[in-house]
Structure 1
């Protein structure tokens, strides 16, 4: 949770003190998406939803294909956490398919691993509450 609060403070301070032009936009987006991924793995649905919205609002440039694909992947994790497994699996598959089309086998492997780690974590967390 600390990373979520620090990200929110950074976004607030950054928007008040600097013009978030295209040079800084990628940095802000990286931090938002990284924190969103952490919140997904921790099952923090409200915080995750807020970060997804912030990331979506931060992508103003068509050149951010990787970030858009990662955001789509993270939205799939949110759908999974909310119980919509079919939509979640479709979003995850679409994201990984983009990396396959781009001929990026390392990204395909990375996001397949992230998906499996997420699923494994969900199984562990579900066992804790039984």
Structure 2
């Protein structure tokens, strides 16, 4: 932030922990101490499949809270994905087909909840046929 700004937004993230965002008001002095505590995040494990139930390698999985994309990753050769450090609460998982499958697979999304320190397992994001 510019020196004249009355506040600054601080984003903090660490592996296996949920992130945090704080708006810090500028104090009268040269320095303002800020304590930001990160809560342990949750983990999501799942698979991306096509309409027949076959795994889809290289699909993009996006984890969203509201309009914000928290994570973006690609599925393994077996269509599996694991994402760590997701803040506790409701999230939307969105799966996008790999480039070579965009003609026959339609994007799909699914809501799930994440609990601090727990793993949400067996998510099956199943593409619909175009």
Q: TM-score, normalised by structure 1?
A: 0.22
Larger relative contact order (CA 8 Å, sep ≥ 6): 2
Larger radius of gyration: 2
More helix by share: 1
| Greater strand share, structure number | 2
The TM-score normalised by the length of structure 2 is: 0.22
